[in-house]
């Protein structure tokens, strides 16, 4: 299911993203649209997509998206985002997501395509990690009026220990919060921090 969703966003124009009339109205009002996958919440698997319409160009939003040092300030619960290495279009990041109940540490490799304004990320299991798997994708679509539709897709497989500690309710709230991070980028670039990306 996630592979099909990823393929859709990688290959398709924004018109192929199927929004309801209510979701389109929500985006126009500056709110974030979240779509959970049907299998999310089953057997430790959580995933879906999030979207936000941002009043900035794709180039400006791309600068924010690849500003790793800003992640701990921009995204709630992100305590650490440290660049370990970079080679070509691939960047290795050390991440720590904090929560009052459980902290999660892992390493991801990002693969950037600046021309398509797409950024793929995947957990690397050869490095220390507290979750079983994580893969996802960012895609930026130019819109009329110099705006950008930011699309975020993610799939997480949590080990049984974390699921039992967190509980289903907290885990489901956590994935919904995670899928809202396109809205965090919108708030970041709309605020005083956005000036440096618009130079």
Distance (Å, rounded) from C-alpha 98 to C-alpha 130?
Answer: 12
CA distance 79 to 77: 6
The answer to whether residues 65 and 74 touch, using CB atoms and an 8 Å cutoff, is no
**All domains in the chain, ordered by first residue:** 2-10+23-194 (3.30.530.20)
Which helix (H) or strand (E) is 69 found in, with range? none
Q: Nearest 10 degrees: CA dihedral of 143, 193, 187, 106?
A: 100
Q: Which helix (H) or strand (E) holds 90?
A: strand 90-97
Residue 162 is predicted with a pLDDT of: 56
Distances (CA, A) of 106 to 25, 103, 170: 36, 10, 20
46: confidence class by pLDDT, cuts 50, 70, 90: confident
Q: What is the chain's length?
A: 199
Other beta carbons less than 10 A from residue 1's beta carbon = 13
Q: How many helices (H) and strands (E) does the chain have?
A: 6, 8
CB 156 within 8 A of CB 45: yes
pLDDT (tens digit, 9 = 90+) per residue, 103-136?
Answer: 789 999 999 999 999 999 999 999 999 888 899 9
Q: At what angle do helices 181-190 and 58-65 cross, to 10 degrees?
A: 110
199, 189 contact by CB (below 8 A): no
Output the CA torsion 56→60→66→72 (10° steps). -50
Average pLDDT, the chain: 85
Integer Cα distance of 134 and 174 in angstroms: 14
**pLDDT of res. 17:** 73
pTM of the shown model? 0.85
Q: What is the pLDDT of residues 2-22, one digit of tens each?
A: 444 444 444 444 444 789 999
Mean pLDDT, residues 26-52:
88
- pLDDT range class, residue 167, cuts 50, 70, 90: low
- For residue 80, pLDDT over 90 is answered with yes
pLDDT at 94: 97
């Amino acid at each position: 299911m996630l592979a099909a969703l990823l393929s859709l966003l990688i290959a398709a124009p924004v018109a192929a993203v199927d929004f309801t009339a209510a979701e389109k109205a929500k985006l126009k009002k500056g709110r974030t649209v979240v779509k959970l996958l049907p299998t999310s919440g089953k057997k430790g698997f959580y995933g879906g997509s999030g979207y936000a319409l941002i009043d900035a160009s794709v180039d400006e939003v791309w600068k924010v998206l690849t500003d790793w040092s800003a992640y701990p300030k921009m995204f709630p619960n992100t305590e650490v985002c440290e660049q370990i290495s970079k080679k070509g279009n691939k960047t290795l990041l050390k991440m720590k997501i904090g929560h009052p109940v459980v902290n999660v540490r892992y390493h991801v490799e990002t693969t950037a395509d600046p021309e398509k304004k797409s950024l793929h990320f995947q957990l690397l299991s050869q490095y220390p990690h507290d979750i079983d798997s994580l893969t996802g994708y960012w895609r930026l679509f130019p819109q009329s009026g110099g705006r950008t539709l930011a699309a975020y897709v993610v799939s997480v497989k949590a080990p049984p220990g974390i699921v039992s500690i967190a509980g289903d309710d907290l885990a489901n709230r956590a994935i919904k919060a995670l899928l809202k991070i396109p809205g965090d980028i919108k708030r970041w670039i709309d605020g005083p921090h956005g000036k440096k990306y618009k130079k």
